[in-house]
Chains A and B, each alone.
Chain A
């Protein structure tokens, strides 16, 4: 039983945020303890949601709850485990939604290679988060379970982020085909020779033809930036010649991938493209939401599963939940964002709060859509806010032309001289330091790189906030002096 650091940590530490469940945790006591810890955490989290700092009397809570947790704790942690794997894990083996046609197409393709020995190439194209890798993994899993295919398919997985170079890619291919010993210290004249040697080496013993090889190239658009596109050329070349059955599958998020290929590479490509376009309507989206959250029939605690699933059904009919989903759907259709939202909501599920409510989803949605720049502006000092407002006025008057520090300081001086009761007339170096803080936070960015020759005050910059953001942030700014607020609202009346 692995309880390193968990139960042995004791009650005091458990008050801090930690959700833990060791797979080997056997004892009821351990589960009870975990349930208590989770309770303490839930309380902390609820306090976060109401944003008020309080002392956490975790010890007292835990003692109270020791009696009531029981099997609920285990049940909840199982729910968590199942849902987290479904929502977070990259190898989500759950249902694939709305891409049945593409699934069939890809499965057919790969079956041709493995069973009939045909060479092929295809590109799977779709925006980020639309399920390309998930689709491919599912197809491969189903393929491996087929009788004819078992043990008969060699896979090489390459990723554009890792193999930034054709040499590295070749080494990786050698490694994944387990041919390091065969290659040994041989020196090859060209990439093509090397690859041909590898594929030749795959013919084993008494077999007349070698195993089919599947090359999966993730982040395909990064491979096109290699020198001469050698790897792609050779892979596609081999997939055209009849020697070894080779299939090349590329996954990419760029729609214009074909224009990036060189002519000779493009001509060897079979132009077979599978598009994953997140093409489902809102009704289906809601159905997906329901299915992602529902517990399967095999769940051990049947009564709880029933309660859970009926709660989810209620949620899908709730107007507020539909509004939240509608907002998210308008923003981004892909399932990855939906999974994020659901993860946030699912994290709130504890023993005390075993069912997801509409307010959970609302909080999750609010957190997901927070404006990060507004949050940063919230923490600035009053002087820095005044500088931002001065820049806003400069942008209004001169229609977005870049400005320099001298101009901003000038505007600020005008404000101080006219009306400011609250603001002391700070010296120029102090204002410069505040301005440099804004530069450091990247709210203001120089247009050209600063050089030694030019003076810092005259370097042209632009503001990376727009007027609406500034005004919204000012509303939320704590203890904003009224002069400053009025100055922000009025535009030309100062001149």
Chain B
């Protein structure tokens, strides 16, 4: 079943599997008491469901479970929508509905008052995975709503998570499960190409979409993301044509122009490091692309001298095993048996397992050994440790009431610490056990 909506290219083709859900339900006949529809994001579940129900004018209630995140909000919203079903006036007085018991009663009343007793009423719950976070009886009760209310009602659950993750422990009434297939690359291309602005030809835009998909398809198949990226980068693509440097058909020139730009987009806009408005501003200025200050750049703080060494010492304490301290930090460590050191599995590489906690004394010991001049253990040093904890560069491990002394863990990445070490001319790699 192909559906053409020029302004909403999100659904252009569905291989017919889509309409099955509502196909199976008739107006006055019975259907499955509950239907579960799953599929990837932006595969059209919500859109098709809404369009189908609106076009066929079936009596329905559409609720998003993320919006109504508690059971009370959810049940009241369903009742309100049911009351507003026939009347055009918005927002009848909200009925207080705390429990599912009241809901069943009020639901039956609402059906009578709206004259909907004969037809199948559809209750569609979008983002149904949130139902699992509510009380334990909500999900099984919705699946059995037809039986509990003894009325002709079908509950449709839309989600991107598979049904096996929903099933309660003691089982429940199994719904009819329907799958919305994802778009293939051909479909994506067609859909994205529908968006072309009128000034340019469809072929020109399709070529652009091809290039875009070539860069991003391996990474991301989400239609919404791709649409966003397509919209943002098109003006840059058209630049050579606008500046009369190339014609519409010069694919090679256009490709050369846009390719580094798209690669940069993958590191910034795609990751939401910078916002789309920043990106657009960047495109307007002719300067190079190196001036972007993304979100992660803000994590970089300028630290005082001793703080940097404290951080380096903390990193060394976290990622080096205790037995190796002697080798690295003592001037005369004597003969160390090589065999023990050389035997290391990749699995126990500390950089894969994460930082280990260390006591304060060890941190200070390493600090004294790596700083050239004498460091006095003043309150200044200790307060710097605390401020590192506040900056979340270190983290405290264990409870506050531990009498032995505080234990810390270093939570910065290798690149960060290397950058810091470079500023104080300290070769940290030489001191790391994993890089021996």
For B161, give its contact among A16, A53, A343, A441 (CB under 8 Å): A441
Structural contact, A18 and B144, CB atoms closer than 8 A: no
1/0 per position for A132-173, CB-CB distance to B under 8 A? 010000000000000000000000000111111100100010
**A15 CA / B28 CA spacing, docked (Å):** 19
How large, as a class, is the contact surface on chain A? 35 or more
For A81, give its contact among B29, B219, B352 (CB under 8 Å): B29
**A81 CA / B20 CA spacing, docked (Å):** 18
Chain B positions within 8 Å of A20 at CB level = 26-29
Question: Known interface pairs A380-B221, A430-B271. Does A22 touch B101 (Cβ–Cβ under 8 Å)?
Answer: no
For B20, give its contact among A15, A45, A457 (CB under 8 Å): A45
**A427 CA / B353 CA spacing, docked (Å):** 20
Q: Which of A159, A383, A404 counts the most B-chain CB atoms under 10 A from its CB?
A: A159
Chain A positions within 8 Å of B1 at CB level = 15-17, 44, 47-48, 53, 56
Structural contact, A13 and B55, CB atoms closer than 8 A: yes
Does B57 belong to the interface (CB within 8 Å)? yes
Chain A positions within 8 Å of B25 at CB level = 19
Beta-carbon nearest neighbor of B17 in chain A: A48
Contacts of B398-416 to chain A: CB distance below 8 A: 409, 411
**A159 CA / B137 CA spacing, docked (Å):** 11
Structural contact, A161 and B140, CB atoms closer than 8 A: yes
Chain A positions within 8 Å of B379 at CB level = none
B207 CB to closest chain A CB (Å) equals: 20
**A13 CA / B22 CA spacing, docked (Å):** 13
Chain B positions within 8 Å of A91 at CB level = 150
Structural contact, A458 and B33, CB atoms closer than 8 A: no
**A380 CA / B57 CA spacing, docked (Å):** 35
Structural contact, A164 and B30, CB atoms closer than 8 A: no
Does B330 belong to the interface (CB within 8 Å)? no
Structural contact, B270 and A433, CB atoms closer than 8 A: yes
B1 CB to closest chain A CB (Å) equals: 5
Structural contact, A172 and B170, CB atoms closer than 8 A: no
Question: Known interface pairs A379-B40, A429-B271, A430-B267. Does A161 touch B219 (Cβ–Cβ under 8 Å)?
Answer: no
A285 CB to closest chain B CB (Å) equals: 19
**A380 CA / B32 CA spacing, docked (Å):** 30
Chain A positions within 8 Å of B397 at CB level = 453
1/0 per position for A28-55, CB-CB distance to B under 8 A? 0000000000000100110110011111
A95 CB to closest chain B CB (Å) equals: 18
Question: Known interface pairs A88-B33, A441-B161. Does A18 touch B2 (Cβ–Cβ under 8 Å)?
Answer: no
Does A320 belong to the interface (CB within 8 Å)? no
**A127 CA / B13 CA spacing, docked (Å):** 42
Structural contact, B23 and A19, CB atoms closer than 8 A: yes
Does B164 belong to the interface (CB within 8 Å)? yes
Contacts of B202-260 to chain A: CB distance below 8 A: 217-221
Q: How many residues of B contact A (CB 8 A)?
A: 85
Structural contact, B23 and A17, CB atoms closer than 8 A: yes
Structural contact, B104 and A162, CB atoms closer than 8 A: yes
Structural contact, A164 and B219, CB atoms closer than 8 A: no
Does B88 belong to the interface (CB within 8 Å)? no
Among the 9-residue stretches A117-125, A242-250, A370-378, the one with 4 or more Cβ atoms under 8 Å from chain B is A370-378
Chain A positions within 8 Å of B57 at CB level = 4-5, 9
Beta-carbon nearest neighbor of B184 in chain A: A478
Structural contact, A406 and B352, CB atoms closer than 8 A: yes
For A16, give its contact among B29, B39, B56, B170 (CB under 8 Å): B56
Chain B positions within 8 Å of A127 at CB level = 171
Question: Known interface pairs A22-B28, A406-B351. Does A433 touch B2 (Cβ–Cβ under 8 Å)?
Answer: no
Structural contact, A379 and B182, CB atoms closer than 8 A: yes
Structural contact, A80 and B29, CB atoms closer than 8 A: yes
Structural contact, B23 and A458, CB atoms closer than 8 A: no
Structural contact, A423 and B101, CB atoms closer than 8 A: no
**A162 CA / B136 CA spacing, docked (Å):** 11
**A52 CA / B14 CA spacing, docked (Å):** 9
**A256 CA / B148 CA spacing, docked (Å):** 25
1/0 per position for B377-420, CB-CB distance to A under 8 A? 00000000000000000011100000000000101000000000
**A80 CA / B351 CA spacing, docked (Å):** 64
Among the 9-residue stretches B172-180, B304-312, B320-328, B421-429, the one with 4 or more Cβ atoms under 8 Å from chain A is B172-180
Chain B positions within 8 Å of A430 at CB level = 219, 266-267, 270-271
Beta-carbon nearest neighbor of A383 in chain B: B219
Structural contact, A404 and B352, CB atoms closer than 8 A: yes
Q: Which of A164, A398, A457 counts the most B-chain CB atoms under 10 A from its CB?
A: A164
**A158 CA / B336 CA spacing, docked (Å):** 76
For B352, give its contact among A410, A423, A429 (CB under 8 Å): A410
Chain B positions within 8 Å of A161 at CB level = 100, 137, 140-141, 144, 148
Chain A positions within 8 Å of B140 at CB level = 161
Does A64 belong to the interface (CB within 8 Å)? no
**A90 CA / B185 CA spacing, docked (Å):** 43
**A376 CA / B137 CA spacing, docked (Å):** 27
A468 CB to closest chain B CB (Å) equals: 15
Does A222 belong to the interface (CB within 8 Å)? yes
Chain A positions within 8 Å of B411 at CB level = 455
**A168 CA / B58 CA spacing, docked (Å):** 34
Chain A positions within 8 Å of B150 at CB level = 91
Chain B positions within 8 Å of A407 at CB level = 352
**A48 CA / B21 CA spacing, docked (Å):** 12
Beta-carbon nearest neighbor of B161 in chain A: A442
Structural contact, A383 and B29, CB atoms closer than 8 A: no
Structural contact, A85 and B30, CB atoms closer than 8 A: yes
A247 CB to closest chain B CB (Å) equals: 22
Does B46 belong to the interface (CB within 8 Å)? no
Chain A positions within 8 Å of B147 at CB level = 90, 133
Structural contact, A381 and B164, CB atoms closer than 8 A: no
Question: Known interface pairs A53-B15, A90-B147, A168-B99. Does A48 touch B20 (Cβ–Cβ under 8 Å)?
Answer: yes
Question: Known interface pairs A22-B27, A162-B141, A441-B161. Does A427 touch B104 (Cβ–Cβ under 8 Å)?
Answer: no
Does A424 belong to the interface (CB within 8 Å)? yes
Beta-carbon nearest neighbor of A222 in chain B: B137
Structural contact, A84 and B148, CB atoms closer than 8 A: no
**A18 CA / B31 CA spacing, docked (Å):** 12
Structural contact, A2 and B118, CB atoms closer than 8 A: yes
Structural contact, A53 and B2, CB atoms closer than 8 A: yes
**A433 CA / B38 CA spacing, docked (Å):** 22
Does B274 belong to the interface (CB within 8 Å)? no
Contacts of B255-308 to chain A: CB distance below 8 A: 266-267, 270-271, 273, 296
Chain A positions within 8 Å of B21 at CB level = 17
Contacts of B344-371 to chain A: CB distance below 8 A: 347, 351-355
Does A307 belong to the interface (CB within 8 Å)? no
Does A226 belong to the interface (CB within 8 Å)? no
Structural contact, A162 and B101, CB atoms closer than 8 A: yes
B202 CB to closest chain A CB (Å) equals: 19
Does B181 belong to the interface (CB within 8 Å)? yes
Given contacts A13-B55, A84-B31, A381-B217, 7 further A-B contacts (CB under 8 A): A17-B19, A53-B15, A54-B2, A164-B100, A370-B177, A376-B40, A379-B43
5 CB < 8 A contacts A-B: A2-B118, A19-B25, A88-B32, A340-B176, A430-B271
Taking Cβ atoms with an 8 Å cutoff, the residues of A that contact B are: 2, 4-6, 9, 13, 15-23, 41, 44-45, 47-48, 51-56, 80-81, 84-85, 88-91, 127-129, 133, 159-165, 168, 172, 221-222, 253-254, 336-337, 340, 343, 347, 370, 372-373, 375-376, 378-383, 398, 404, 406-407, 410, 423-424, 426-427, 429-430, 433-434, 440-442, 453-455, 457-458, 478-479
Q: Closest 8 A-B residue pairs measured CB to CB?
A: A17-B19, A379-B182, A17-B23, A458-B354, A48-B16, A372-B162, A20-B27, A90-B147
